[in-house]
Structure 1
Amino acid sequence: MKILCGYNVNIDAVYKITGEEISDLMEIVDMEELLENIRDAPGEIRSISDLVAGLVLHMQKDTGAEWFIYSDDVFHFLKSRYYGKSEIRLGGNMGIMANVMSHMGADQVVMNAVGDIEGIKPLMSGGNIIFSGKSVPQDASTSKDANEIIHFVFDFSSGTRFDLFGTEVIVARENRFIATYDDINTELTITHEFEEYSREHVTEMDGAIISGFNQLQKCYPDGSGYTARFEKAHSQLKDWKARNPDLPIHVEFGHFMSVDMGVSIFTELSGTVDSIGMNEDELVMLTELHGVPSDMIRKMDACAILDACVKCASSTGLKKIVLHTRDFIMGIFRKGTSTPLREMRSMQFGVMCAAAFAASGKLPERSQLEDSVSGLARSEEGIRQAGKLQDLIGGEQFEGGVCGEYRDFLVCILPTIICEKPVSTVGLGDTVSSATFLRWLELGGNGKG
């Protein structure tokens, strides 16, 4: 398989934060300011108080989030306090997905290589990658190193406890809070080399997987909005489709800084790409399109999630949504675009890759994939949700999951394989989506072969 990959890659500094460390951070900020920031979340980081508020808020809610850092001082505080103690990993949806597909058997993966490429290359375990780009030279006129794209990923575990000024907080499930310092991916930078290579070779490609739209900013320092940057990337996807109408394009969605942006970009992309992948938090952002109560989605209720996905696809014309959660993965797709067997086998491959990565923090060789997850079990909650969905749609058990029909769509749900003590939750969604997409292409894609 030959696959195009855009647009975002970065370096992740992954740090497992404890309750004691949260308490230490609370001691260095003003209590009233912190409580105000928790009550009225800024959604971005311009002070240490903003940072602590984001951590506390999402540990309370057991949700993942990504806030951007707009302060050099906060960045240097984080770098000096945590970078040396962190696990340095490949980051960025596109970077992770390109690495997964290359490692797991793709013949050629063409990356939109931005930022510190020489620093990123050693973090990639896969071969057969074409790096279409070059490192950006350092610009002495700016306060940032032009290549500095570090995302501080704070993993938190279930059972973590800390005292919030007299109220005990107990984290119910593992997740992560990401503090992002990045002026390259926020521009949705597309290298000249990637533009030229993809234009010349798109007819030879078997598929394309795209991400990074969630890095766009609502407003930039020059006063402009995200529209022009989005349209440049969207035009590239349209051009690929014009040159190669059979090219399957999958987009991995991500957490947007505003609901309006998320809804607008989802709607625009749905008319161009073939499938969009997301998690339950990202589906909540699309409430305007589906109207399903967010609490039902966040509870990972499979029936509510199915209803929301079908309404999103129906209202926008999208062919397929892949929804991945901790406990199950679900694919809803229009009849004639794929088959239940192809969907289930590709999702099974994706689930195994994600479980193997969660358990060890690295991908196994493909020949050892099944052995690497043999000691892990299917999610009991995922099995329960698959049963609920079967009751709703009248589907049948198939390839370890359930398949059926719902409102002119075919639907497949598969319980995930759970690692109770994951090395990290970072990149699991990207891993499952990209591995699923790779296997889907191998099995024929688009109902072919």
Structure 2
Amino acid sequence: MWRKAAAAALLALAVGYLYHSGPDLSENIMHFIPLPSFQFVSENHSTEQLISASWETLITLPSRQWNRVAVGVNACVDVVVSGVGLLQALAVDHGSGLDHEVLHSEEDLKEAFVHFMERGAAAERFFSDKEVFQRIARAAAEFPGAKLYVGGNAALIGQKLASYPDLMVLLCGPVGPKLHELLDEQIVVPPESLQEMDEYHLILEYKAGEQWGLSQAPQANRFIFSHDVSNGEMSSLETFVSSLDEFQPDLVVLSGLHMMEGQGRELWELRLKEVVDAITNIQQDVPIHLELASMTDKEYMNSILQEQVLPIVSSIGLNEQELLFLSQAANGPHADLASWTGIPDVGRVSDILLWILQQYGCSDLSSEADLTRIHFHTLAYHILATVDGFWGNQAAAVMAGARVASSQACGLQAVDVTKVELKAPLEFQSSHAEKGEKLSLNPVEPVTVWRRRNVTFHLTPVLVCRRPLRTVGLGDAISAEGLVYSEIKNQQSFRSDVDIKSRYLLLC
């Protein structure tokens, strides 16, 4: 079925080519059309065209779709502004970059911004001084070209899910008047989540090649910071969980754990225990997706792991920085890497994904964990890694996530092949730590699939927008789209009380 669909995509391209070549050729189409070779088609269509056309043919919704999705618990208003422009307006002098786990001053902000801009990497930090933050926020809101958007992982995921008219979305989080105005009408917000004041996050964007002093951005990205107490304490968590009994979701999406990092050990140690208690109280046959985000405190990440947050969710979404940081915090594979150099090596990524599912997921007969799915995304490609037997339609899901990354980054509703480029490796290894398979990317079947033990990997390239208009929320849109196209193979497979050995034999 997969190859037939790919052949259909090829055929459509070939017909289009023949049609535009002149009447003599088109008259012969009804008599005989040989299936064109890849070489023939690639001479007349770019690789980007082949991938985009194949996506449109191969991406199909699952037979069993979600009806009601509950999303929580971080929400805010994003103020998006030019990072270099704002810092110049604040009369901050350019200097060398230096990462800070928590920002205490404008100088800290400048150093952290330069540090990540030079690497073209996304990051998010807490700003400890409320008064200084409010002054910077006012300057950002008044800066020429500043824009206000729905912000916060939960709200952004909810907004994306609400673009599907048959899907009802519940959003719990600190929702102020401006955010409520910006939200899709299809989103239900419990009265307990409404508050008088909005939480604001400042998004400092930079473009590929943009310079400030001696620093130059290798690619477009953004630096996020806030002084956000409501989201920082996950204050909407209890409202979120208590709303589920009435809403009766068939999927739960949780985010906001990263916001607690800047609140200090005493708060997050207590709160993580309460998060675990809250998750375990959610109806057991409902899968839970956890969206991770940028963190810097290895002790905090270890607390998330030690409090067993990952094993009690069904699915997680993360990017290359979050993946490597998780491995570094727990001394996993390739923890000796300080950072990725260029496009993350597929074999190394595959090693870490497999390790997470083995260490914290449903991986063997003794496992009581629920984690069976990881949606990994980086600029050039995406991977969905799933434990066999739990999830269906994952080829379509990973392609759908890549497609929305391509279109949304360019500010479009669909992929425009004249505005994107392929940056994914055409050949790669399935593992770096072990003797892996040598794999390749085929533009007319743009999902490469391999298995390691009981885990299946689906990789698809991203058609990278050459001049992205907005990078904020891309990861959330990718995860949301991937979830929309995902299907549960067995509803009872999640967080079930049945004998673990029987469950493993049935599904793992």
Choose which of 103, 119, 122 in structure 1 pairs with 2:181: 122
Larger radius of gyration, structure 1 or 2? Answer: 2
CA-CA distance at 1:135 after TM superposition: 5.8
1:91 and 1:78 mapped to 2: Cα distance? Answer: 18
1:439 aligned partner: 485
Q: Does 1:198 align with 2:248?
A: no
Q: Does 1:177 align with 2:223?
A: yes
CA-CA distance at 1:417 after TM superposition: 2.5
Consecutive unaligned residues in structure 1, runs of 5 or more: 139-146, 365-371
Q: What letter matches 1:360 in structure 2?
A: G
Q: Does 1:269 align with 2:297?
A: no
Q: What letter matches 2:460 in structure 1?
A: L
Runs of 4+ in 1 over 6 A off after TM superposition: 442-448
2:199 aligned partner: 149
2:502 aligned partner: none
1:329-368 alignment runs, 5 A limit: 329-339=382-392, 342-360=393-411, 364=413
The DSSP-based 3-state class of the residue aligned with 1:188 is: coil
Consecutive unaligned residues in structure 2, runs of 5 or more: 1-66, 362-370, 495-508
Relative to 1, partners in 2 of residues 1:311 and 1:393: Cα closer, same or farther, differing over 3 Å?
A: same
The DSSP-based 3-state class of the residue aligned with 2:236 is: coil
2:390–2:488 contact (8 Å) kept in structure 1: no
Q: What letter matches 1:224 in structure 2?
A: E
Q: What letter matches 2:186 in structure 1?
A: N
Identity of aligned residues (%): 19
1:394 and 1:119 mapped to 2: Cα distance? Answer: 51
1:428 aligned partner: 474
Count of residue correspondences: 407
CA-CA distance at 1:264 after TM superposition: 2.9
1:103–1:127 contact (8 Å) kept in structure 2: no
2:349 and 2:400 mapped to 1: Cα distance? Answer: 22
2:426 and 2:204 mapped to 1: Cα distance? Answer: 30
1:331-410 alignment runs, 5 A limit: 331-339=384-392, 342-360=393-411, 364=413, 372-375=414-417, 379-384=421-426, 387-389=428-430, 392-393=436-437, 399-410=445-456
Q: What's the TM-score, normalizing by structure 2?
A: 0.73
Choose which of 274, 288, 293 in structure 2 pairs with 1:254: 293
Q: Does 1:46 align with 2:112?
A: no
Relative to 1, partners in 2 of residues 1:324 and 1:446: Cα closer, same or farther, differing over 3 Å?
A: farther
Q: Does 1:94 align with 2:133?
A: no
2:378 and 2:222 mapped to 1: Cα distance? Answer: 14
Q: What's the TM-score, normalizing by structure 1?
A: 0.82
Relative to 1, partners in 2 of residues 1:59 and 1:218: Cα closer, same or farther, differing over 3 Å?
A: closer
1:173-322 alignment runs, 5 A limit: 173-190=219-236, 193-202=239-248, 205-217=249-261, 219-220=263-264, 224-240=266-282, 243=283, 245-266=284-305, 268-286=308-326, 287=328, 288-292=330-334, 293-294=336-337, 297-299=340-342, 300-317=344-361, 318-322=371-375
1:378–1:415 contact (8 Å) kept in structure 2: no
2:170–2:247 contact (8 Å) kept in structure 1: no
Q: What letter matches 2:471 in structure 1?
A: T
CA-CA distance at 1:389 after TM superposition: 4.0
1:148 and 1:185 mapped to 2: Cα distance? Answer: 11
1:368 aligned partner: none
Relative to 1, partners in 2 of residues 1:392 and 1:418: Cα closer, same or farther, differing over 3 Å?
A: same
The DSSP-based 3-state class of the residue aligned with 2:261 is: coil
2:100 and 2:69 mapped to 1: Cα distance? Answer: 38
2:17 aligned partner: none
